[in-house]
Amino acid sequence: MPVEPGLIGMYVITVRTSRCLVYCKDGRRTGTHERIGFDFLGCTFRPREIVRRDGSMGTGFTPALSRLSMTAMRQTMRRHKLHHRSDWTLADLARAMEPHVRGWMAYYCRFRGSEFQSGANHLDRIIVRWAMRKVRRLRGHRRRVVIGPPRRTSRASTDR
């Protein structure tokens, strides 16, 4: 019985039942088509603005973090319920999330790291919520957690 190439020893799970052609639109291929992007292995391939080798701007067909992968990352963070762990120290939080964040950054930041920024911002918001529960004087003061206390400068440096 003939086997399709690439299907040996693995299962293929498809969301759509039909196969479709994708037009790889970039700076040289400027035509229009119904589909110009696709998701594969947690990345979305679609036309994006790029900087060429000579420094000029253009359009390229490049991969970046997909919306489904970003949702899965946020759900993983939510599943840990870090903001409820007020008995943990900051080092404990870092130890719990480090393997996940290292793996995500190594995989998804390979081609377009700026797309990972919204996931990093979500983790920052979780840490802010944790700090607001952990430290009593920070409760209800999100800006104090994010910005921190005002810096005190010595009189000698301001009198000059």
DSSP string for residues in 26-54: -SS-----S---EEETTEEEEEEEEE-TT
Q: Is the pLDDT of residue 102 over 70?
A: yes
**Are 71 and 60 part of one and the same domain?**
no
Q: Is residue 60 part of a domain?
A: yes
**Are 104 and 51 part of one and the same domain?**
no
Q: What is the mean pLDDT of residues 40-57?
A: 84
The pLDDT, as a whole number, for residue 12 is 44
**Are 91 and 72 part of one and the same domain?**
yes
Q: Please tell me the pTM assigned to this model.
A: 0.64
pLDDT band at residue 13, thresholds of 50, 70 and 90? Answer: very low
Q: Is residue 133 part of a domain?
A: yes
Rg (CA), the chain: 23
- The percent of residues in the chain predicted with pLDDT above 70, rounded, is 69
Q: What is the mean pLDDT of residues 121-129?
A: 86
Helix (H) / strand (E) element for 57: namely strand 57-65
The pLDDT, as a whole number, for residue 28 is 73
Q: Is residue 22 part of a domain?
A: yes
d(CA 75, CA 65): 15
User: Which one, of 130, 115, 129, lies nearest residue 73 by Cα?
Assistant: 115
By residue range, what is the domain housing residue 58? 18-64
Contact predicate 65/112, CB 8 Å = yes
**Domain tally for the chain?**
2
